[in-house]
Amino acid sequence: MRRPIDSLFGRLALLVVGVLLLSHFAGYALFRLERSQFQNRYAVEEATFLVDAVRQHVLHTPDQPLPSRVRLVDPSSKDVPALQEGSNTPLNHFLEDVRDRMPPGTQVRLGEPGKPPTLWVRQPSDADWIVVPVQPLRPPRSVDRMVLWLTIIFTFAVMAALFAAWQLQQPLRSLASAVARFGRGQPVPPVPERGPRELRQLTHGFNQMVQEVARTENDRAVMLAGVAHDLKTPLARLRLRAEMMDEVKVRDGVVRDVDSMTHIVEQFLVFAHDGADRSEAVEVDAQCERVVRSYRAVAAGAATVLTDLKAGPGFLLPAATLDRILSNLLDNAHAYGAPPVVLATARTSAGYTLSVQDNGGGIAAQDLINASRPFVRLDPARGGNGHSGLGLAIVERLVRRAGGEWELGNHGGRGLRVLMTFPFEAVPRVNSMSESAWS
């Protein structure tokens, strides 16, 4: 099961959203704190200015009336508010800031709650309390218009960041897809060189590597195909001359040797073939049954072949590819394994599987890596009998070319098993028009 967080885009998206969320939250908190402090400083400045203005007014123009919201109160009046201390509120912080701006010994109090907020100030030299209005100190609201704006900005920032992350991820995704195709042995078209400089350099290097590998493979395929093709004519003449020999024993030995050489040449041609299989897709289960019946009829001395076909009609492969895979694996099991040979198919959650297993001695663990390499024979004594060391190499190439993966190993200590897995997306689909025509 794929997890979105495992992809580059998922991690970039998570990083971008986390950073934007943290920055917006920190900015909003700092803004609220700064706004609260600014409001408090403004209220303190305004209050101290009014108190100084009233004091100057009383000192220089005592006969002039005071503004309506400013008054002088006798210290013995019952309207003087009581001293309130001990609580840690924004109003007490406000009072402390006002005291710091006043001369030492100044008394500062707030008016009674429930009425318009007022500030009571009396210096030691003042005869009366000076009462001035103050700006209401409202606590920060839990939700305000700033939250709406920050949400809008955050949404557009996330959308822009995700688009940028997607643009950065697309070249990497194309490159990863090309690497996967290259690993399966499938044709890889040049990958467009897009994105940052380092990514363009990586893509350019990959394209050059693919071109060099393709050129090398093509040269090797041309060489093998040429040699194999040139050998077919003399082998045909050699067989014809062998058939004309009088001595039966010598004739049969030469004919067997010519047949072995012909089989090796045919293996060379199959291995050198690098084109796509354009044969018709057939049901694997049905084709396996036909191949096994034909194998039993032709190879009378071959090992017993059992079938366990459970993939269903949805498992399709090109006919030529499937025939070559089965013929090579059955020949390999007949030559090196022991009966019975089990040919099985199945449908799993990841795709379809095709396996061939014998009950021989298997392959030593240290030789499993070399078993599928071209021209490698694990038993040096098997130099003849038409075996070129290409059987498993051909199977691996055909499986990868068909979009599948293969696994070679000893199954339960009872012989060699070749397990081939074909994802659902790699399996050919039946043409809907053909289906309707048959229905």
**CATH code: domain of residue 16:** 3.30.450
Residue 385: the pLDDT is 46
- Of 133, 160, 191, the last residue of a domain is 133
Neighbours of 380 (CB within 10 A): 6
The residue behind tokens 């907020």 is 117
101 near 95, Cβ under 8 Å? no
In Å, what is the CA distance from 202 to each residue of 10, 11, 53, 198, 215?
Answer: 22, 21, 75, 6, 20
Helix (H, G, I), strand (E, B) or coil at 357: strand
Kindly report the average pLDDT of the chain as a whole number: 78
- Of 90, 110, 133, the last residue of a domain is 133
Neighbours of 25 (CB within 10 A): 12
Range of the domain at 434: 279-438
Residue 310: is its pLDDT beyond 90? yes
**pLDDT tens string 126-143:** 888 888 888 765 555 555
* pLDDT band per the 50, 70, 90 thresholds, residue 289: very high
**pLDDT tens string 39-76:** 778 888 888 888 888 888 888 887 888 877 888 888 88
* 396 within a domain of the structure (yes/no): yes
* 270 within a domain of the structure (yes/no): no
Residue 346: the pLDDT is 96
* pLDDT band per the 50, 70, 90 thresholds, residue 8: low
* 245 within a domain of the structure (yes/no): no
* 433 within a domain of the structure (yes/no): yes
Sheet containing 107-110, strands listed edge to edge, beginning at the edge strand earlier in sequence: 71-73, 129-133, 118-122, 107-110
- Of 133, 160, 183, the last residue of a domain is 133
* 193 within a domain of the structure (yes/no): no
CATH of the domain at 299: 3.30.565.10
HEC string for 47-78: HHHHHHHHHHHHHHCCCCCCCCCCEEECCCCC
* 152 within a domain of the structure (yes/no): no
> Who wins on pLDDT, 433 or 161?
161
Residue 31: is its pLDDT beyond 60? yes
75: cis peptide before it, omega within 30°? no
* 59 within a domain of the structure (yes/no): yes
Residue 383: is its pLDDT beyond 50? no
- Torsion angle in degrees (nearest 10) through CA of 349, 317, 321, 383: 30
**pLDDT tens string 353-373:** 999 999 888 887 777 776 666
Residue 380: is its pLDDT beyond 50? no
Helix (H, G, I), strand (E, B) or coil at 307: strand
Number of domains in the chain: 2
What is the pTM (predicted TM-score) of this model?
A: 0.47
* pLDDT band per the 50, 70, 90 thresholds, residue 270: low
* 197 within a domain of the structure (yes/no): no
> Who wins on pLDDT, 8 or 105?
105
